[in-house]
């Protein structure tokens, strides 16, 4: 039996997001898990960080919120609502953040919960700072050993949040929350449970949605988390930049999980355009295949060659082209190479 904290942020009890919260509570308890719910709107959570958060301020004449937060946490002089939520986080084995996507992020009330509850000394500023070690964070910290998952509803179509979607890739939009808020203090982060076109769902759609959510909840303690790079695994240098010959950043899926930041190969009027240091050519038929340049072939001898793209290039089969390039890059992921940007 495990313990699960659901932090819920939706003002309407009859909303789809609230229904998912209720369904998660019922499902998890049916599987013998203990569940606590922090319903931020129902409890009238105060989302505004202020001097009132500290019962014994160190500098009464000027508010330095992070400094006061650290002293208050260490001295147990935080306001009762903050301390109560921290106790819930320490109690939990898993945390689910349940919210609708508003303007490409979480509702302000949930952001205010994070701002106030994730105090200095609790969620950050933890551990030794020396040499290449900048404390215990990104895979280490106070909340290590716990799991986390986002449950997010949104009105847009799934294609809008795809790799070429007008809204941007959903993994990138959720990166500050999944990597920055949850992974930072040490939690293992599972892929999110996402509902697109939420405003268009009907009662007839609910059984399928509920069934999918149940499967995710059943795997809350067994599914594989997103393989983010941990800070103190030896991948980063003293300036917290990835070391040479490692990928160019973080990521959550495909080659990104193993090699760092995803490479993107979007399209401009049906053509690929290489803008990396490997080739100065721009435009023309040659740009349909960024692997054609001699520089690219020297850098990536294992990448797909011209023969691989014969036929699919003429059909302008973008998915096949991208898959071929990605498979080649998967072998050699290196930073500063193949900087292809969306046009």
Least confident of 7-16, 75-84, 104-113, 235-244: 235-244
Average pLDDT, the chain: 79
Q: What is the pLDDT of residues 141-199, one digit of tens each?
A: 999 999 999 999 999 999 999 999 999 999 999 999 999 999 999 999 999 999 999 98
Phi/psi for 241 (5° steps) reads: -110, 145
Phi/psi for 262 (5° steps) reads: -65, 145
Q: Are 175 and 229 a contacting pair, CB within 8 Å?
A: no
Q: What residue ranges define each of the domains in the chain, with the CATH number in brackets? A: 3-233 (3.40.50.360), 263-332 (no CATH)
Residue 105 three-state SS:
strand
At 63, the pLDDT band (50, 70, 90 cuts) reads: very high
- Count of residues making up the chain: 343
Residue 5 three-state SS:
strand
CA angle 185-120-103, nearest 5°? 65
Per-residue model confidence (pLDDT) at position 273: 35
Instruction: Spell out the residues 6+ positions from residue 128 whose beta carbon is closer than 8 angstroms to its own.
Output: 135, 136
Residue 188 three-state SS:
strand
Residue 288: both structure tokens together: 């349909």
């Amino acid at each position: 039996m495990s313990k699960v904290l659901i932090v819920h942020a939706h003002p309407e009890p009859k909303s789809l997001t609230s229904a998912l919260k209720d369904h998660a509570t019922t499902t998890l308890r049916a599987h013998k898990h203990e569940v606590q719910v922090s319903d931020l709107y129902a409890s009238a959570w105060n989302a505004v960080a202020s001097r009132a958060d500290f019962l014994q301020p160190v500098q009464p004449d000027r508010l330095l919120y992070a400094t006061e937060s650290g002293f208050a946490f260490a001295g147990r002089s935080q306001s009762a609502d903050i301390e109560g939520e921290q106790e819930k986080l320490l109690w939990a084995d898993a945390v689910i953040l349940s919210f609708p996507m508003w303007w490409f992020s979480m509702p302000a009330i949930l952001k205010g919960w994070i701002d106030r509850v994730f105090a200095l000394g609790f969620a950050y500023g933890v551990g030794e700072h020396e040499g290449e070690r900048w404390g215990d964070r990104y895979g280490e910290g106070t909340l290590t050993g716990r799991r986390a998952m986002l449950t997010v509803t949104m009105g847009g179509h799934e294609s809008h949040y795809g790799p070429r979607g007008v809204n941007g890739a959903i993994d990138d939009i959720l990166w500050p929350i999944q990597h920055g808020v949850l992974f930072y203090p040490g939690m293992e982060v599972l892929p999110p449970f996402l509902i697109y076109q939420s405003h268009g769902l009907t009662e007839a759609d609910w059984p399928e949605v509920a069934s999918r959510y149940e499967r995710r909840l059943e795997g809350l303690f067994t599914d594989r988390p997103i393989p983010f790079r941990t800070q103190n695994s030896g991948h980063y240098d003293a300036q917290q930049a990835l070391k040479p010959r490692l990928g160019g950043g973080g990521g959550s899926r495909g080659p990104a999980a193993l090699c760092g930041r995803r490479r993107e190969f979007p399209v401009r009027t049906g053509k690929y355009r290489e803008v990396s240091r490997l080739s100065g050519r721009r435009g023309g038929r040659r740009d349909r295949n960024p692997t054609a340049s001699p520089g690219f072939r020297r850098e990536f001898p294992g990448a797909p060659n011209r023969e691989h793209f014969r036929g699919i290039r003429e059909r302008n089969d973008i998915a096949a082209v991208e898959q071929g390039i990605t498979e080649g890059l998967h072998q050699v992921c290196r930073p500063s190479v193949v900087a292809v940007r969306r046009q």
